[in-house]
Amino acid sequence: MRRLELQSVNMHFGPLHVTRDVTFSVDSGERVALIGPNGAGKTTLVNIMAGSLRHSTGQMLYEGRDVAALSTPQRARLGLVRTFQISRLFMGLTVEENVRVAALHRHQGRKAARDVIDAEVHAGLAKLKVAHLAGKVVDSLSLGERRLVELSLALTMEPRLLLLDEPAAGIPHGESRHVLQAVNDLPSDLAVMLIEHDMDLVFSWARRIIVLSGGAVIKDGSPETIAQDEHVQRIYFGRGDT
């Protein structure tokens, strides 16, 4: 099933044209990485997909529905969920309390029995194997542990499309392998788009890579295709003539 489809999406900030005729789709179960040099327009594009920005022209469909008018929370309740490069956890709360907030948010506007919420919290902790951290205050966790908790929150929202914004950012190398393993273990039917600068992570995980430059898609293909493309090497990796 097609989870997401962007059709000639453009974004203007006054005279600045930062997203240029972006067209691609993401299907159920796909593992897609979005890469590009600094200033390529990745953050703007993710914000458009997640709902914190509304594109200027073009169309964005989520499961066949035009969601341009929906807010980020509304999209999340439909199953389009994102994580952030900078932690958005509630630092003064425990891990379990953070996951509970996500479970309650998913049921916003609908009554849910306490035992239903409890079951979702326990499932959320179990999915990323962080149940042993349940009683710990988030402030006391390592960066790698916080990333795992953020993934637990995202999965508690029961996403059908998950946008992961640099999940390994700022994590010491020794801890990043745990985050990579968690990303590898995500449900196979979940569509995942990874926005990442760590090329080792990208090429070891993605089955498809979309390359942005200057706000436009310059290449979309398998990791092997991307690695061998001279245009990508020149613009993204800085190889060859400029």
DSSP annotation of 137: B
Could you tell me the CATH number of the domain that includes residue 165? 3.40.50.300
Q: Residue 153 phi/psi, 5° resolution?
A: -60, -45
Least confident of 8-12, 46-50, 193-197, 206-210: 193-197
The verdict on residue 70 lying in a domain is: yes
Per-residue model confidence as pLDDT tens digits over 88-105? 799 999 999 999 998 888
Which pLDDT score is estimated for 113? Answer: 87
The verdict on residue 85 lying in a domain is: yes
The verdict on residue 241 lying in a domain is: no
Mean pLDDT of the chain: 90
Global pTM exceeds 0.85: yes
Per-residue model confidence as pLDDT tens digits over 124-150? 899 888 999 999 999 999 989 998 999
Per-residue model confidence as pLDDT tens digits over 74-91? 999 999 999 876 667 999
List CB contacts of 171: < 8 A, sequence separation 6 or more: 143, 144, 147, 179
The verdict on residue 242 lying in a domain is: no
The verdict on residue 240 lying in a domain is: no
Number of domains in the chain: 1
Which pLDDT score is estimated for 241? Answer: 40
Rounded to whole angstroms, the Cα distance separating 166 from 116 reads: 31
The verdict on residue 218 lying in a domain is: yes
The verdict on residue 31 lying in a domain is: yes
State the residue range of the domain holding 189. Answer: 2-235
25-to-7, 38, 144, 170, 184 alpha-carbon distances in Å: 9, 23, 30, 29, 21
